Structure 1
Amino acid sequence: MTTIADTTSLLLSGFSEVGINNTGTVIFDASRKDGKEGIFTGNGETITTIADISSSFSRFIRNEINDNNQLAFGATLRNGAKNVFIDGIFTGSDPIADKVIGIGDSLLGGTVTNLFFGESINNSGQIPFFAELIDDSGKTITGVFCADPVSKSIPESTSTLNLLAFSALSTGLTLKGKLKQKLTVRINNL
């Protein structure tokens, strides 16, 4: 039996939303004794704060960690949207740089109006989620989606990055059109 964290610590007082990966790292939601909720990881030796409510976050809902110690969690923001389950899905403490997707973001040519974290992240870093969005015509679309990770690498020259960005944008627009056609066909066939 390995103790990851308990209430005898000066740091933590309550626990919820616990998960573990195959390497023995545990992710959990807890409240510190000062009342600030956070997402933490631990392995029996150290506890690491991933994010807490001392910044823009106001509440955490569901969390998950994969075997590469990549993690994801749902959260609401202090100045977030009203009457939504979560404001976004995040992978770290920065609500802008670490956002996977959030309320108001563009998806399938529409605007995301509600999100539900699928409570998983696979070892490739993919994150499934359920979203509701409103398209340009005002029609509500619901669906299950998968966010692919963006790899962080050593910056290359500006011209190469611009070419890659243009290529990614072109590919994304092409795929968006194809996906929208498939979605339309799928909806019409239901």
Structure 2
Amino acid sequence: MNTPRCALVPMNVSCSRTDFQILISAQVLAPLERTKVYLGSRNCAAQEVGNNFRIQARFDTCGTESQRRNNTSVIVSVLYIDFSAPGLEDIHEYEVRCEPRRKEASVHLLSGSDWLGPYAATAEHLQEAPPREEVEALEGPVTMVAQDTSDIVFLGFCILAGVLMITAIVVLMLL
């Protein structure tokens, strides 16, 4: 007897200032083909990397669009996971959102059935996407994106100012 299962597919979604990265365990979606997992259009199908389906997409591709939400610029696209079988259309749609300034990504289920049928996995069998280090090890060297270091520089100046002030107080007390 089949039991109802959660329609949410576990995935790891991240973004930089220029692109999305989506990782989904191929084990969770077995036996789907990578072409059944795509961002925006079937032209942006997932790639198989190790035991994961991976989509790396620049913001200017794969149907992404810039929107204003709560006075913030966000980049939005739709991730499709096609569970359809002969005579049954079942395509899950997830909104993938990135706030580039903060490099924060989120994903929200837009539509899909409450049943995943043979593709579902119970929570104890779900496998999280591997840490980014493992993916990078499989892919080779990755170009690093410059990070905003202004907070670190500010904290460094504050610490330096504190040390100089304490030194000045100690010197004045010794005079």
TM-score if structure 2 supplies the norm length? 0.22
**Structure with larger RCO (C-alpha < 8 A, sep 6+):** 2
TM-score (norm 1): 0.21
Larger strand proportion, structure 1 or 2? 1
User: Between Structure 1 and Structure 2, whose CA radius of gyration is higher?
Assistant: 2
Whose helix fraction is larger, Structure 1's or Structure 2's?
2
